[in-house]
Structure 1
């Protein structure tokens, strides 16, 4: 799993992850084809300061790591590549 453009979330006080949808009165855990009638259910997490130029997972702010780890929990897939700026070399390989 590659998580690109993580840096665009820099400086946001809160970041959201869509964890499910409410559709026809029920909670569903898949992407509905009828988005017009589906309401996203978000989980809100604390944001972080700038990560631009970070090239090591250990150097990421704790809240950025929590965000990544929550995405891993939700998807069941390890995030192996993390982009921390527009620069090609600012990439973390785990």
Structure 2
């Protein structure tokens, strides 16, 4: 089996590494799950259901990844598209996903890059003892989606849960 690294330049191979380490396989089928960077435009749509809090899990899986990416917006690269009374033009920046396949297939993610962390998270018991780079990332997420954090998990065990 090919040895893969979290810090692969090839995003596909990096995703495979993260999936393997995080054991992201279907519970019944064992089928590999798709793994991707956090997508804030989609999260913003999900929060429209009335949710006020978010839960982030498996943060420990990203320990050792040199660069963490978070998609904060999309750039629309398709033909002019009428959406309600609005017209999307090539190059427009979308902060919230438009849940129309003909739009999404022409969207390019725009990422913010953050430095990762190397510290083991399993013994961390509160937010303020997390690595500073992770606190920066979490603060960015919570600020950008206007949602309060509720729970983060920092390890595979039930005890590795921090209630905020």
1:9 aligned partner: 62
1:57/1:92 contact within 8 Å kept: yes
Which of 93, 97, 102 lines up with 1:27 in the alignment?
93
Q: Which residue of 1 aligns with 2:105?
A: 36
Tell me which residue corresponds to 2:153.
Answer: 83
Quote how far apart the aligned CAs of 1:85 are: 0.8
Q: 1:48 aligns with which of 83, 96, 117?
A: 117
Question: Which consecutive aligned stretches of 4+ in structure 1 deviate over 2 angstroms post-superposition?
Answer: 32-35
C-alpha distance in 2 between matches for 1:55 and 1:91:
8
Instruction: Answer whether contact 1:4 1:84 (CA < 8 A) is retained.
Output: yes
TM-score by length of 1: 0.92
Larger Rg: 2
Higher relative contact order (CA 8 A, sep 6+): 1
Structure with the bigger percentage of strand: 1
Say how many residue pairs are matched.
Answer: 94
